[in-house]
Homo-oligomer: A and B are copies of this chain.
Amino acid sequence: MSPTKESISEAFKNLQLEICEALEAEDGLAKFGSDHWERPGGGGGLSRAITDGRAIEKGGVNYSAVHGDIPEQLRKHFKLDQGQFYATGVSIVIHPQNPFAPTIHMNVRYFEMDNGICWFGGGIDLTPSYVDTQEAKYFHSQMKNVCDAFGPDSYAEYKKWADDYFYIKHRNETRGIGGIFFDHLEPGTKTKKELFDFVLSVGKSFAPTYTRILSNKKDLEFTEVQRNWQLIRRGRYVEFNLVHDRGTKFGLETEGRIESILMSMPSEARWVYNHTPEDGSEEAESLKYFQKNIDWI
């Protein structure tokens, strides 16, 4: 049976809860808050923020299901005079305390219009300050496993898409070590149910993958120099999200709930004029990996 918008948003809501529970269990100290909000034009969401944990410094796991008149930009694109849309999704950004633990982002989303057009999108990407090649390999293998069940070329395609999307053009750096990214997956060759199953499997891969990574790193000792590097890399995260990220831009332009949109911001970020790590340092080594087209598997 083809999934309805109600069943998709219900599954996303459950996914949010599962992920929050898994992250709380891994953190062992902090708990997620809950802020219900309503969208003036229709629908709303549940924003869940966490802060000052043992492992997690700041993070958000947001669910929303909104509907209303199709925004002008989309109407123009599809040459529609009017119409209604429905959009639902889960968005996550987790910034950990430990400089050796990576920041992670995940998004799964569904969009439909009352003319019958609908699509899924989403992805997961990892942003370490210090690149651990074993961790990177594990992370990409997890992503490949999820993609392989969907199609033989999916991982290669969505991995490239992530490389291209999570790219800080003005720095000539990728945001981190990438992951997978996909958009506008419309029913056709694949059924709507197959698309939904894939998107949900991406969502369900988040908690086990990230809690394992966090568990390995959360208690490592670190120095002031390493914390400083983490904060500089968080500055780059801020630059990507405010300058390039389409979701953030769309949210700001369409006057979305600002505190939910900017939940992706780190607790702290730092900028140092002309900061250049010393040749051969751990920091310089990590920088080499913030480039496109690295085969991690």
Interface residues of A (CB under 8 A from B): 35, 49, 51, 58, 60, 169-171, 231, 235, 238-239, 242-243, 252, 255, 258-259, 261-263, 265-274
Given A170-B255, A242-B239, A242-B242, check contact A268 B270 (CB 8 Å). Answer: yes
A166 to chain B, nearest CB (A): 17
Which of A259, A261, A266, A271 has the largest count of B CB atoms less than 10 A from its CB? A271
- A170 near B266 with CB under 8 A, answer no
Please give 7 more A-B residue pairs, beta carbons under 8 A apart, in addition to A259-B273, A268-B270: A58-B271, A238-B238, A243-B252, A262-B271, A265-B271, A267-B272, A268-B268
With A170-B252, A242-B242, A243-B252 already in contact, the answer to whether A231 and B268 are too (CB < 8 A) is yes
Q: How far is the CA of A171 from the CA of B262 in the complex (A)?
A: 11
Q: Are B267 and A270 in contact (CB under 8 A)?
A: yes
- What residues on B are CB-neighbors of A261 within 8 Å? 170
List the B residue with the shortest CB-CB distance to A261.
B170
Given A266-B271, A269-B268, A238:B243 Cβ within 8 A: no
| Nearest B-chain residue to A95, judged by Cβ | B271
Chain B residues within an 8 Å CB radius of A266: 271
A259 to B274, CA, bound (A): 6
Q: Which 7 A-B pairs have the closest CB atoms?
A: A265-B271, A242-B242, A49-B273, A170-B252, A259-B274, A242-B243, A268-B270
- Copies of this chain, whole number: 2
Q: For residue A243, which residue of chain B has the nearest CB?
A: B242
Known A35-B274, A274-B259; judge A265-B49 contact (CB<8 A).
no
How distant is A137 from chain B, measured CB to nearest CB, in Å?
Answer: 31
A258 to chain B: closest residue by CB: B170
Closest to A235 in B: B265
* Cα–Cα, bound, A49→B272 (Å): 10
Q: Given the complex, which residues of B lie within 8 Å of A60, measured CB to CB?
A: 273
Chain B residues lying within 8 Å of A259, measured Cβ to Cβ, are 273-274
CA distance A38 to B81 in the complex (A): 50
Contacts of A270 in B (CB 8 A): 267-269
The reply to whether A238 and B242 form a contact with Cβ atoms under 8 Å apart is yes
Q: A60 vs B271: C-alpha distance in the bound complex, in angstroms?
A: 12
A263 with B267, Cβ < 8 A, contacts A170-B255, A170-B258, A171-B258 known: no
The answer to whether B268 and A273 touch across the interface, beta carbons within 8 angstroms, is no
Contact flag A267-B271 (CB < 8 Å), given A242-B243, A258-B171: yes
Contacts of A272 on B, CB cut-off 8 Å?
51, 267
Q: Which residues of B contact A169 (CB under 8 A)?
A: 252
Q: How many Å from the CB of A240 to the closest CB on chain B?
A: 10
